[in-house]
Each structure stands twice: as structure tokens, then as C-alpha cells.
């Protein structure tokens, strides 16, 4: 670590507690914590360091923890999902799960005393929650269609897994990368439709041909934070799609970020701030030094040239006679019974695989053509539709006030209720994407949506009420671009009126009576 970084380090309370004791150290104390109970655990261990293991103390529901898994490329097997279902089952009404905006799953209601046993079950099932929170690399996203899509360029599944294995020491925890200056996001796209929102990641690999050879162009520095949001910029580098090259470039960038990243002010610690302070050329040079070889310059163009697909519905796979079916999981919420049912559906109709998307939906692949009709008549598909109403179809929502103490508003229920109200009132052409996020941290990615709704407070009739700022103009797929805040502090109770008018004026919606 450079001396500049070390002297800055002392200025920030997060840097202080990380220097006192690495987050990963609590792994050795889990049995002890389980015995003494969460109330007796040191406050910093409880509220901060446990997040290094994916265990999130929830001040909104003390004693009921959230467990954030890692699901590289969003792929789980049915035995793995069965384990997750059994974990939340024991918590009765408190137990549930959420699909996240990083193609991942979080469990609710978890008790600290059960964590040692839960971790050994995860280990047996080859799953991990390691390093999924705080100053670590988040779930590595990849094309949800990997290995299924006839038009796919690169299958990203093995690559996302290998990058995760490098960062987490195959899920055991890797102290090399547990003290980054801040959180860090990596995405690997292998198709043509930017299914992972490449532009909002600290590192994104996007498919590109260099001198006729298929590989990846590298983008760096994309991020959202409460103070600033930036799309990733080209590093002017291309790598072949091999494990060695992909893991190598991710490792090298992480090492530069770890050793040089700005640690004084957490609002200015994400990778983009370092790139700007060094200059892109110097940053690239440092990455090459960390790699130990020169990078090839970027291919002139990448291969992202399709509109983004949402994967909902029935789609032919490249394997003849096989189909994948995308189910719409409203705002990503999964009850315990849903989890068990999904395991059964994947086993009976598919090949025991479930995939998540960054839209908080899921895919069951490898269904035989002859079984499609029976599959579509399964009761769970009434809840998780293959043909959802136009707003619910693309609805995304962060956790919000139900479990998140940063939230300024309740999000998930309100998102669904608002969408359903507007769907009842209007004929809406397909393709209006609404993203809710409970506070400016932007976990629900309002900047990538047609309508982005960010929780805030407003004064109405002399009272403080829950409200949202409205973002518009987010574009996804090819030519992705971030949306901007166009209206501030709309009281939530007035929101349906505001959205209804914009849907009519700008999205071709018509009132139902007039149809
Ligand atoms: Fe997030 C913090 C939930 C994706 C930006 N995020 C949090 C915490 C951990 C805050 C907390 O301790 O309560 C939230 C946990 C609430 C809970 O109980 O679920 C939380 N973030 C989420 C999830 C679950 C939202 C969802 O409903 O899907 C997503 C989990 C992804 C995963 O599987 O790892 C989630 N968070 C994101 C994204 C979207 C993305 O990655 O595409 C972003 C914006 C992109 C980015 O990071 O550049 C995001 N989360 C943040 C930030 C702001 C980061 C910053 O640089 O300022 C925070 C606060 C922080 O880190 O200080 C935050
Ligand atoms: Fe919590 Fe805010 Fe993230 Fe929503 S956007 S999950 S409210 S931190």
C-alpha cells in the first residue's frame, strides 16, 4: 500500500475499524457469537464486520439477519436452492428470500445462532456468502442466457465463477481483497444485449473482436452513489476470453484499486475517483505493471448491438427441442413455499437449474418442448407469470423501508400497488421499465429505467410525507445511457396521477374506458 493511501487511511472511521481488525476475522468467531447471542456481540463486529461474511444485522428487525449469498452468473442448481429453502423454512413467517439487482439472492429472518450450521450446509452445497457486503467485490454478474442462447458470443458462467474463486479464495475468504477502499462491482457480458447493465459496474467486460479474434473490451469506473453516478469508461484494453486473461485483468485492477484507491472520504472512494485522480493513461499503466505484461489496445467496436431482452416468457434454446422459460417474480420476492416449488419445477421439467436476472426475475432452462404445456399449467405460474402485465413485467425495486435502515420510503409493496393501479386504468404498450429505489444509494438502479423513482421526503399540507424524485431517460442495451432526475419530491400519494399523465403523453398509453 502506498504511503499516501496509508496516511489518508487514518482519517476515515471505516478505515480505522478495518485497520484494527479485518472484517474476515469474525469468521473464526461465529461459534462464539452463536453461543453468546447477537445482543452480546461487539457493535462493530455486529453491524459492520459480519457483512464481510454476507451476514447483515438489520436494525429494522433486530435479531433477524439478512444473509446475502453469492450467485456467480445468477446460476443455482436445484439442490442448492433446496438448501436455501430449508434454511428460511425454519423461520416461519420471518423466512423469505429476495432476488437482487445483481442477479443474486438474499435470505431473510436468519438467526445468528444458526449461522455455524448454515455455513456448513452452504459449504457442503458448494455455495458461499463470503465477501458479499461492505468493502468487497459484490456478486459477479454474467449473461443469464449463457450456454442457452444460439446467438451467444462467449459463455460467461465459468469466467464469473473463476473470478469469484480468485476474489474469495473459492468461498473460504481471501484477505488479499477484504480491505478495498469501498464496494466494487464486476460484470461479464457474453451476449449482444448488455443483459448485465455493463455500464454501471466498476469493471465490465463486453464482447469485442480484435483483429478477428473474439474477446472482451474492458470498461472501468461505472458506479452509482448518493452523491454521484457515472457510466463506465473504456480502459482501451482488450483481453482474450480465457480464464487466465479474465481473472488476470480483474485481479490487476483490484490490486491497483486496493493499493492506490482513495481512502479519506467514502463518498470519493469508488474506482472512478481513483481513475480521475491518476488519469486514465497512468491508471492503465499501473494495471499493466500489476499484470506484468502489456495490454492490447481495445477493439474499435464492441458487439453490443441488440436491444436488451427481458427473458420473460418461452424461448427456444440453442439445444434443439429445449426451451427456457422466464418467470416474472414481482419485485423479486420469494416466499419459502415458492422456493420449494421452484426446486420441484426445475427438477421435474428442467435439468435442475435455476437462473436469476438483474431484473429480479428467474429463468428455468432445459424444458423439453413436449413438457411445455404441462409446465405452463403449474399453479406457481399464476403467481410468477410468463406473460405479466406491461408494468409489472419490468418492475424492479430495492429492499426499501421494510428491512433497510437507509430507506426513506417503503418501496416493494408500493411499487407493485402503483403498477397494478396504472395497469387497471390504462392500456399500456409493452416496454415501460419502472425502477424503485428507497434512497439515493440507488440499489434499485433508477438511472437505468424509463421511470426511476428514488425515495425522499416532501412536505404536503404542512406534513412530512413519503415522496419520490422522478428520473427519466435511462436507456439499456446498445447505446445504454443513464437517466436524469427530472422532477423532485413528488408525494407518493400523488405519484399515480403523475405517472398516468406521462404514460399517456409520452408512452402511448390510453385510458381503459376510451379503448
Ligand atoms: Fe445496495 C447499501 C441492498 C444493489 C448501491 N444495499 C446497501 C445495503 C447493504 C444497506 C444496508 O446495510 O442496509 C442494502 C441492504 C438492504 C437489505 O436488507 O436488503 C442494499 N443493494 C441492495 C440490494 C439487495 C437491492 C435489491 O433489492 O436488489 C442489491 C444487492 C445486490 C447484491 O446481490 O449484491 C443492491 N446497491 C446495489 C446496486 C445496483 C448494482 O450493483 O447494480 C447499487 C448501485 C451500483 C453501485 O454500487 O455502483 C447499490 N448499496 C449501494 C450503495 C451506494 C454505494 C456508494 O458507492 O455510495 C450502498 C451504501 C454504501 O455502500 O455505503 C448500498
Ligand atoms: Fe436500502 Fe437505499 Fe439501497 Fe434501497 S437504495 S436497499 S433503501 S440502501
Mean pLDDT, rounded, of the chain? 96
Q: How far is the CA of 379 from the centre of ligand 1 (A)?
A: 33
Q: How far is the CA of 443 from the centre of ligand 1 (A)?
A: 4
**What are the tens digits of pLDDT across the range 482-493?**
999 999 999 999
Domains of the chain plus CATH, in order, are 13-291 (3.30.413.10), 313-330+337-380 (3.30.70.3340), 393-511 (3.30.413.10)
Active site residue 477: no
Mean pLDDT of 447-471: 97
Task: Convert the pLDDT of each residue in 294-319 to its tens digit.
Answer: 999 999 999 999 988 999 999 999 99
State the virtual CA torsion across 96, 101, 102, 106 in degrees, nearest 10: -10
Q: Distance of alpha carbon 298 from its chain centroid, rounded?
A: 26
Q: Is 221 helix (H, G, I), strand (E, B) or coil?
A: coil
pLDDT in tens, 359-416: 999 999 999 999 999 999 999 999 999 999 999 999 999 999 999 999 999 999 999 9
The DSSP bridge pattern shows strands 223-224 and 229-230 to be antiparallel
Q: Give 4's pLDDT tier (boundaries 50, 70, 90).
A: very low
Model pLDDT, residue 514 = 53
Q: Is the CB of 443 under 6 A from ligand 2?
A: yes
Q: What is the DSSP string of 184-195?
A: B-EEE--SSS-T
- Which one is catalytic: 58, 64, 182, 263? 182
Residue 358, all three cell numbers: 438483474
Whether the model pTM is above 0.95: yes
- For residue 3 the three cell numbers come to 504511503
CA 314 – CA 236 distance, rounded (Å): 38
Give the pLDDT band of residue 477 (cuts 50, 70, 90). confident
Centroid of ligand 2 to alpha carbon of 447 (angstroms): 14
Q: Is 444 a catalytic residue?
A: yes
Does the C-beta of 66 come closer than 6 Å to ligand 2? no
Atom 20, ligand 1: which residue's CA is nearest?
443
Residue 49 CB: number of other CB atoms within 10 A?
Answer: 26
Catalytic (active site) residue 438: yes
Q: How far apart are CA 217 and CA 504, in angstroms?
A: 40
Q: pLDDT at residue 430 above 90?
A: no
261 labelled catalytic: no
Angle at CA 134, nearest 5°, toward 413 and 167? 115
Query: Count of CB atoms within 10 A of residue 132's CB?
Result: 26
Helix ranges (DSSP H) in 242-362 = 243-260, 271-278, 280-291, 336-349
The per-residue DSSP string of 416-444 comes to HHHHHHHHHHEE--S---EEEESSTT-TT
Amino acid at each position: 500500500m502506498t504511503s499516501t493511501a496509508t496516511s489518508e487511511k487514518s482519517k476515515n472511521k471505516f478505515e480505522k475499524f478495518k485497520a484494527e481488525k479485518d472484517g474476515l476475522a469474525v469468521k473464526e468467531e461465529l461459534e462464539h457469537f452463536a453461543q453468546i447471542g447477537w445482543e452480546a456481540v461487539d457493535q462493530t463486529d455486529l453491524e459492520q464486520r459480519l457483512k464481510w461474511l454476507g451476514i447483515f444485522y438489520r436494525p429494522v428487525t433486530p435479531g433477524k439477519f439478512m444473509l446475502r449469498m453469492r450467485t456467480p452468473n445468477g446460476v443455482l442448481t436445484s439442490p442448492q436452492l433446496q438448501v436455501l429453502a430449508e434454511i428460511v423454512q425454519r423461520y416461519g413467517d420471518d423466512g423469505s428470500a429476495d432476488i437482487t439487482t445483481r442477479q443474486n439472492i438474499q435470505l431473510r429472518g436468519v438467526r445468528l445462532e444458526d449461522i455455524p450450521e448454515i455455513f456448513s450446509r452452504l459449504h457442503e452445497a458448494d455455495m458461499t456468502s463470503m465477501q458479499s457486503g461492505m468493502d468487497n467485490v459484490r456478486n459477479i454478474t454474467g449473461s443469464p442466457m449463457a450456454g442457452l442462447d444460439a446467438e451467444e458470443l462467449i459463455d460467461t458462467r465459468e469466467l464469473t465463477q473463476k473470478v469469484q474463486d480468485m476474489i474469495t479464495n473459492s468461498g473460504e475468504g481471501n484477505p488479499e481483497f477484504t480491505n478495498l477502499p469501498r464496494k466494487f462491482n464486476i460484470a461479464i457480458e457474453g451476449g449482444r444485449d448488455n443483459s448485465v447493465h455493463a455500464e454501471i459496474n466498476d469493471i465490465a467486460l463486453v464482447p469485442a473482436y480484435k483483429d478477428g479474434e473474439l474477446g472482451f473490451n474492458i470498461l472501468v469506473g461505472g458506479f452509482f452513489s448518493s452523491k454521484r453516478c457515472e457510466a463506465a469508461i473504456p480502459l482501451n484494453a482488450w483481453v482474450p476470453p480465457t480464464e487466465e486473461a479474465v481473472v488476470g485483468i480483474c485481479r490487476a485492477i483490484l490490486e491497483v484499486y486496493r493499493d492506490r484507491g482513495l481512502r479519506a472520504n467514502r463518498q470519493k472512494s469508488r474506482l472512478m475517483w481513483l481513475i480521475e485522480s491518476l488519469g486514465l493513461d497512468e491508471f492503465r499503466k499501473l494495471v499493466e505493471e500489476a499484470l506484468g505484461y502489456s495490454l492490447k489496445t481495445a477493439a474499435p467496436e464492441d458487439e453490443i448491438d441488440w436491444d436488451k431482452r427481458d427473458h420473460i416468457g418461452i424461448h427456444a434454446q440453442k439445444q434443439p427441442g429445449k426451451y427456457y422459460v422466464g418467470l416474472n417474480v414481482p419485485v423479486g420476492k420469494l416466499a419459502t413455499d415458492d422456493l420449494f416449488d421452484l426446486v420441484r419445477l426445475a427438477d421435474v421439467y428442467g435439468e435442475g437449474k435455476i437462473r436469476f436476472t438483474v431484473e429480479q426475475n428467474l429463468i428455468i432452462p432445459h424444458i423439453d418442448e413436449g413438457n411445455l404445456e404441462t409446465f405452463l399449467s403449474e399453479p406457481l405460474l399464476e403467481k410468477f407469470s410468463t406473460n405479466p402485465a406491461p408494468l409489472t413485467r419490468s418492475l424492479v425495486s430495492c429492499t426499501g423501508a421494510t428491512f433497510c435502515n437507509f430507506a426513506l420510503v417503503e418501496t416493494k409493496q408500493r411499487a407493485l400497488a402503483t403498477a397494478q393501479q396504472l395497469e387497471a386504468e390504462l392500456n399500456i404498450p409493452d416496454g415501460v421499465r419502472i425502477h424503485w429505489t428507497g434512497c439515493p444509494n440507488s440499489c434499485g438502479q433508477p438511472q437505468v429505467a424509463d421511470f426511476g423513482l428514488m425515495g425522499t421526503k416532501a412536505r404536503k399540507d404542512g406534513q412530512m410525507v413519503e415522496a419520490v424524485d422522478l428520473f427519466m431517460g435511462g436507456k439499456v442495451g446498445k447505446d445504454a445511457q443513464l437517466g436524469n432526475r427530472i422532477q423532485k419530491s413528488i408525494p407518493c400519494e400523488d405519484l399515480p396521477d403523475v405517472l398516468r399523465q406521462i404514460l399517456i403523453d409520452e408512452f402511448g398509453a390510453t385510458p381503459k374506458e376510451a379503448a
